Amino acid sequence: FSKEIRQFNSLNPDNILDKKTEVKPYDLTWNIPESFKNLDVSKFILNKLLSELNTSDEFTQDDIDERITRVQHELELYREYNMTNILKVVAYIVEEFKKHNVVWGTGRGSSCCSYCLYLIGLHDVDSIKYDLDLTEFFR
C-alpha cells in the first residue's frame, strides 16, 4: 500500500481501501448553525471587549488602548492564518456550554495566550493581565 492509502485507512477504519481508488476530499465545512457560520467575528469580539471594559472600573485609558490594539492585532492574525471559522465554532461551543450548564476548564495550553478566546469565554486567563506572549498561540 502507498503512504496515501495507509493514511486514509488509518483515518477511515469503516471504509478501508485495499487498492488505489480515488480518495475524495474531506468535508471541512463546520457543522454549526447558520447564525454562527454568518457571524461577524470582528463585531462579535469587539462587543465582548466593550462589555469587558464597561463592567470594570480598574482599566486606565492605557489599559483600554492596549486591549483594543491587542484585539485588532489578533483579529488580523486570525484572518491571516485563515482561522476566523475557529472563532465562530468556539463562540458556538461556549454558547452551547452556557445554555446547557456545562462546566469547562479555566484554560489550558497556548489558547490562554489569545485574548480573543478569553473574550469569547473559552478560558478565564486574561493574557494581557498576565503578559502572555501571543506568538505562543500562533506558532
Residues 103-122 as b or e (16 or more Cβ within 10 Å = b): eeeebeeebbbbbbbbbbbb
What is the per-residue pLDDT for 66? 97
What is the per-residue pLDDT for 20? 59
30-64: pLDDT as tens digits: 889 999 999 999 999 999 999 999 998 899 999 99
- Kindly report the pTM of this predicted structure: 0.79
What is the per-residue pLDDT for 86? 94
What is the per-residue pLDDT for 28? 62
The residue ranges of the chain whose pLDDT is under 70 are 1, 19-28
What is the per-residue pLDDT for 17? 74
What is the per-residue pLDDT for 24? 66
- Output the 3-class SS for the chain: CCHHHHHHHHHCCCCCCCCCCCCCCCCCCCCCCHHHHCCCHHHHHHHHHHHHHHCCCCCCHHHHHHHHHHHHHHHHHHHHCCCHHHHHHHHHHHHHHHHCCCCCCCCCHHHHHCHHHHHHCCCCCCCCCCCCCHHHCCC
